[in-house]
Chains A and B, each alone.
Chain A
Amino acid sequence: MNLYRYSSPAAFYPIAGRLAPWFGWSAGLLAAIGLWIGFAKAPTDFQQGEAYRIIFIHVPAAWMSMFIYMVMAFWGAMALAFNTRLSAMMAQALAPTGALMTFIALWTGAFWGRPTWGTYWAWDARMTSELILLFLYFGVIALRNAIDDDRRADRACSVLALVGAVNVPIIYFSVQWWNTLHQGSSISLTAAPKMATIMLSGMLVMALAAWFYTVAVALVRVRCIMRERQRGARQLGPTTVVPGLA
C-alpha cells in the first residue's frame, strides 16, 4: 500500500469522511466510561473533597492543548519543508480545537483554583504560559483570516505555529523552573503516579476521549477546508483577470 497517495487532498477527503464517525463515537463512549469512573467509582479525595473531580477534564484538556499545538506545528513544518497542501490544511483544521482545549484547561483551572488555592487566577508561570498558548492559537486563526491567498496564509501560519512552539516546553516545565502557585505534575513518565489508580484511570480514559474527539473534529474540519479552498481556487482561477491590473 502506498501511503504517500493519501497526502493528496483528493485521496484523503473520502478517507477522512469514513474515519471521522468512528473517532467521534469512540470519543463519546470513552467520555461516558471516563465520567462513570470519575463520578461513580473514584472516591472522595481526603484533602480536596469532591472539588478534585475537576481533574477529569482539567488535565486531559491541558494535555491536549499542548499536544494539539505540537501536532499543528509539526504539520506547519511539513508544509514549509515539502510544500504539501494537506499538511497545511491539517494544521489549519487543528487550531480551533486547540484553542477550545486551552480555554477549557484555563476555565476549569480557575474553578478548581478558587476552592483549593483561594483564587480564580494568578500570574503564575504555568497559568500565564497557558494563557499565551491561547493567544498563540488565536493569532494563528486570525493570521489565516487576514490573508486571502491560501498558500501565503499557509506559510505565514506555519511560521507562526513553529515560532510559538517554544512556548509548549515552557508550559510543560514551568512547574519545575519557577516555584509559583501551580503544583507539580501528579504523574510523569519516569516516576510512579502520585494519585490513586482509580483516579488515574478515570483521567487517562478522559484523555483518550479528548484525543479521539480532537481527531474526529479535525477530520470533519479538514474536509470543510478542502471544499472551501476548492471553491476559492475556482473563483480566483486563471480566467478571473482584474482589468487594469495586468
Chain B
Amino acid sequence: MSNFLAMGGYGFYVWMSYGVTALAIVAELLALRARHRAATRAFVHDRNESPTP
C-alpha cells in the first residue's frame, strides 16, 4: 500500500494532480447542487406567491 502511495518517488506529483482534480470536481458538484436547490426554492416560492389561474 505504501509502495502504491509512493508512486516510485513521484507520489507528491501524482497525488497533487489527482487530489486537486478530485477536489475541483467535488467543488463543482457541490456548487451545482446549491445552485439547483436555490433555483428550485425560488421557483416554488414564486409559484406559491402568485398562483396562476
Contact = CB atoms under 8 A, between A and B. Distances in A.
Contact of A221 (B9, B10, B25, B35): B35
Interface in B4-20: 4, 7-10, 13-14, 16-18, 20
A138 B43 CA distance: 28
A144 interface: no
B32 A234 contact: no
A97 B27 CA distance: 11
Contact of B36 (A104, A111, A220): A220
Interface residues of B, number: 25
A221 B33 CA distance: 9
B28 A112 contact: no
Given A61-B21, A100-B28, A53 B36 contact: no
**Binding site secondary structure of chain B:** helix
Interface residues on A, range: 20 to 34
Nearest to A231: B42
A61 B21 CA distance: 10
A217 B17 contact: no
A49 interface: yes
Contact of B13 (A39, A112, A217): A112
B40 A227 contact: yes
B35 to A, nearest CB: 5
6 contacts: A50-B8, A100-B24, A103-B24, A104-B24, A111-B16, A231-B42
Interface of B: 4, 7-10, 13-14, 16-18, 20-21, 24-25, 28-29, 32, 35-36, 39-40, 42-43, 46, 50
